Amino acid sequence: MDIDQIKTFLSVAANGSFLEAASRLYVTQSTVSTRIQRLEAYMGVSLFVRNRSGATLTLPGRRFLRHAKTLLITLEQARHDIGLPSRYRASITLGARIALWETLLPEWIGIIRSQVADVSIRSEIGFEEDLMRGVIEGSMDIGMMYTPQHNPGLKVEHLFDETLVLLTSNPEKTWPNDDYIYVDWGPGFYAQHSNAYPNLERPPQVVNIGWLAVQLVTGNGGSCFLPIRIAAPLIKERKLFQVPDSPQFKLPAYMVSPLDSDSIILRQILDNLRSLAAIERQKNYC
């Protein structure tokens, strides 16, 4: 058994497909099959049921899943710790959506670093799929996102709710108009948006991150929904204006971490993040 076999097993389990796992791992499908076959030979059991629709875990496979995550986390932690300077006692990898990194997480990381200066922190940006896969496969300790998927062995915690407000570069222009940019904040936002604007035609511009919408609106003019946390300084500087009488939507932010981790450092970081989230819930950006 080696680390590549464990990573491949977790990728197939997460994606339900040898082909998709091969794509995620940047190897051929035959390489994935060979790794799983060798792992099954080592374990002496079948770990997956293969069929045309993909691959599903057998009962032994489900039992091995928790151990595989623990093994990978232990190996990854060992690799990071061995390479750390002696002044650091551990390393933590934290990933999040780019909108959460805007103004919020840099401040949080600064506070955490002041509290646990002897812990090395790796920060990453990603979408939900990348973040979930990282936590599942053990290459990431904490993922922060808007639309997590529930997975065995992972703990999903609600942190706080973003408030999305409609902003425009031209407060004199009637809304809706052809300058509107739809930001894909996830299925929850889509449902609220559709209920509020059932007759709205498909917007001429669609983006997948709020940062890009800000660049387009401030550069070319237009309107979009943004978290009030991000919008507040833009409104204060009169770069953007809130559309009068427009609805506000809730966008929950979540934290995902391993359910059964025995890392004291990870538990400490998670507790710090929970405390910071509690403070965030009390803030008023209006």
pLDDT tens-place string over residues 164-207: 999 999 999 999 889 999 999 999 999 999 999 999 988 999 99
Selected from 3.40.109.10, 3.40.190.10, 3.20.20.10, 3.30.420.40, the CATH number assigned to the domain covering 161-251 reads 3.40.190.10
Coil, helix or strand at residue 66: helix
CATH topology agreement for domains 73-160+252-282 and 161-251: yes
Predicted TM-score (pTM) of the model is: 0.71
Q: Which fold has domain 3-63?
A: Arc Repressor Mutant, subunit A (1.10.10)
Nearest to 152 by CA among 9, 7, 13, 2: 13
Nearest to 178 by CA among 187, 188, 168: 168
Domain ranges of the chain: 3-63, 73-160+252-282, 161-251
> In the structure encoding, which two tokens stand for residue 279, read together?
């403070």
Contact partners, residue 245, CB within 8 Å, separation at least 6: none
Strand partners for 251: 162
pLDDT tens-place string over residues 50-108: 988 889 999 999 999 988 988 887 777 676 666 666 777 788 899 999 999 998 999 99
The amino acid occupying position 4 is D
Predicted confidence at residue 84, as pLDDT, reads: 66
Please state the CATH superfamily assignment of the domain spanning residues 73-160+252-282 in this structure. Answer: Periplasmic binding protein-like II (3.40.190.10)
Question: How wide is the angle at C-alpha 233 spanned by C-alphas 229 and 238, nearest 5°?
Answer: 135
Contact partners, residue 180, CB within 8 Å, separation at least 6: 203, 204, 205, 222, 223, 224
